[in-house]
């Protein structure tokens, strides 16, 4: 007996199935690439914020390390950021230091933001 080969047997995928699966795969990959680009952008902004905070912290730490009655008003530029501080005598035993730092906006670089950190130094011999 002879076996006949049927023409309606399916051994693979049709062209329509392949086109649909490739289209879905490309949509998923485009979504993932968009999410990755957004994530990288947010990481860069977070790095800039962290660097800015570290620069301001460095200035405040150096002013505190100088100690009471050893700090004078001044300014500095750290990585292109302007930081200025003014010293005010509150009373005979304490000083107030206002540290003013400027930074550019993250969403709009033409906008400058000004942040102020206030420190107090006191005479270590206060009883």
pLDDT tens, position by position, 38-84: 999 999 888 988 998 999 999 999 999 998 899 999 999 888 888 99
Range of the domain at 104: 15-122
Cβ within 8 Å of residue 59, ≥6 positions away: 76, 78, 83, 85, 99, 101
pTM greater than 0.85 (yes/no): no
For residue 5, being part of any structural domain is answered with no
For residue 6, being part of any structural domain is answered with no
For residue 94, being part of any structural domain is answered with yes
pLDDT tens digits, residue range 82-118?
Answer: 899 999 999 888 999 999 998 887 777 788 889 999 9
For residue 78, being part of any structural domain is answered with yes
Number of structural domains the chain divides into: 1
For residue 8, being part of any structural domain is answered with no
Asked whether 84 and 94 are in contact (CB, 8 A), the reply is: no
């Amino acid at each position: 007996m002879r076996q006949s080969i049927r023409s309606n047997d399916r051994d693979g995928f049709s062209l329509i199935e392949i086109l649909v699966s490739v289209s879905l795969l490309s949509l998923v990959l485009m979504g993932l690439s968009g999410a990755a680009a957004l994530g990288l952008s947010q990481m860069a902004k977070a790095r800039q914020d962290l660097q800015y905070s570290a620069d301001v912290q460095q200035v405040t730490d150096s002013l505190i390390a100088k100690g009471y009655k050893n700090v004078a008003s001044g300014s500095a530029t750290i990585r292109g950021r302007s930081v200025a501080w003014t010293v005010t005598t509150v009373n005979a035993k304490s000083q107030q230091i206002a540290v003013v730092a400027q930074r550019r906006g993250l969403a709009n670089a033409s906008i400058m933001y000004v942040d102020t950190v206030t420190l107090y130094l006191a005479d270590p011999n206060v009883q």
